[in-house]
Amino acid sequence: MSNFNNKTSFFSSAAARTSSSTFDPALRDYMAKIYNLMAIALVISGAVAFLVANSPSLLHLIYSTPLRWVIMFAPLGFVIFINARINSISAQKAKTYLWIFAALMGASISWILVAYTSSSVARVFFITAAVFGSMSIYGYTTKKDLTSLGSFLFMGLIGIIIASVVNIFLHSSALHFAVSFIGVLIFVGFTAYDTQSIKRQFYALGGAGEAANKAAILGALRLYIDFINLFIMLLQFFGDRR
C-alpha cells in the first residue's frame, strides 16, 4: 500500500509540474515578451517594405543594381552574425541588431508589395497569423517531445534552399510549386518546434537575468523567421499577382 501511495504521489507531482510548466505565469510573461519583440520586428519590416515599394528610386537602386544581391543575402548573414556574437554583447545591443535585421528583411521582401495586390497580401498575412498562432500554441501546450523533429526540419530546410537556388536558373514552375508546398510544411513544423524549444530554454536559464533576456531576443528572431517564411510560402498559393 505504501508503494502504491508513493507511486500515486509521484504521478501527481509529475502532473502538477507539467501543468505548472504550461500555465506558469512567469513563462507566460516571458513568451508574451518574445511575441511582442517579434511583432515589433514585423512592423519594422512592413514599414520598410512599404517605403521601398512606394519609392521608384529605391526600387531601382535595390533591384536593378548589384545591390540586390547584398539585400538578398544580408538577412542570412545577419542571422549568422547575431548568433555568433550573442554571448559577447548585451541584451540591449542584441535587440538593436534584431531591429536592423528586420529592416534588412523588409527591404529584401519589398518586391512582394509590387508583385501582389494589396488585398491578397493582407489576406495571406492573416492566414499566416492564424496558422502560425495555432502551431505556436500547439508547441507551447503539447506534452509530446518535438526534439527529434528538429534534425528532420533542418534537413528539409537545406533541401528547399538548394532547390530554390537551382530554380533561379531552371525557372521550373513544377519545382517552384514543390518548394512552396514543402516549405509550408517545414515552417509550420518549425513554428511548433521553436516554440517548445524556447519554452524549455526558459526553464534551463531560470527565466530571468541577462542570459534569459538575450535568449528571448533570439527566440523572437527564430519565430520571426518562421512567420516571414511561412508568409512567403503561403503567398505563392493564395496571393493574387498584379
Residue 119 is assigned to a structural domain of this protein: yes
Tell me what the mean pLDDT of segment 35-46 comes to: 97
Element (H, E) at 140: helix 118-141
Tell me what the mean pLDDT of segment 115-121 comes to: 94
Q: Which residues pair with 241 in a beta bridge?
A: 116
Residue 184 is assigned to a structural domain of this protein: yes
Q: Which residues pair with 116 in a beta bridge?
A: 241
C-alpha to C-alpha distance for 236 and 102, rounded to whole angstroms: 22
Tell me what the mean pLDDT of segment 40-52 comes to: 96
Confidence of residue 93 (pLDDT cuts 50, 70, 90): very high
Residue 77 is assigned to a structural domain of this protein: yes
pLDDT value at 10 more than 50: no
- Residue 230: what residue type? L
pLDDT value at 190 more than 60: yes
Tell me what the mean pLDDT of segment 9-17 comes to: 38
pLDDT the model gives residue 4? 34
pLDDT value at 205 more than 80: yes
Confidence of residue 23 (pLDDT cuts 50, 70, 90): low
pLDDT value at 138 more than 80: yes
pLDDT the model gives residue 16? 41
Residue 207: strand, helix, or coil: coil
Tell me what the mean pLDDT of segment 48-77 comes to: 87
Domains: count for the chain = 1
Closest by CA position to 185, among listed 122, 135, 126: 135
CB atoms within 10 A of CB 107: 23
Residue 195 is assigned to a structural domain of this protein: yes
Residue 169 is assigned to a structural domain of this protein: yes
pLDDT value at 11 more than 50: no
What domain range includes position 206? 24-238
CB 113 within 8 A of CB 50: yes
pTM of the model: 0.86
Mean pLDDT of the chain: 87
Closest by CA position to 142, among listed 186, 72, 179, 191: 191
Cell numbers that stand for 215 in this block: 535568449
Residue 14 is assigned to a structural domain of this protein: no
Residue 115 is assigned to a structural domain of this protein: yes
pLDDT value at 229 more than 60: yes
Could you give the angle at the alpha carbon of 111 between the alpha carbons of 108 and 114, nearest 5°? Answer: 155
Tallying the residues shown for the chain, one arrives at 242
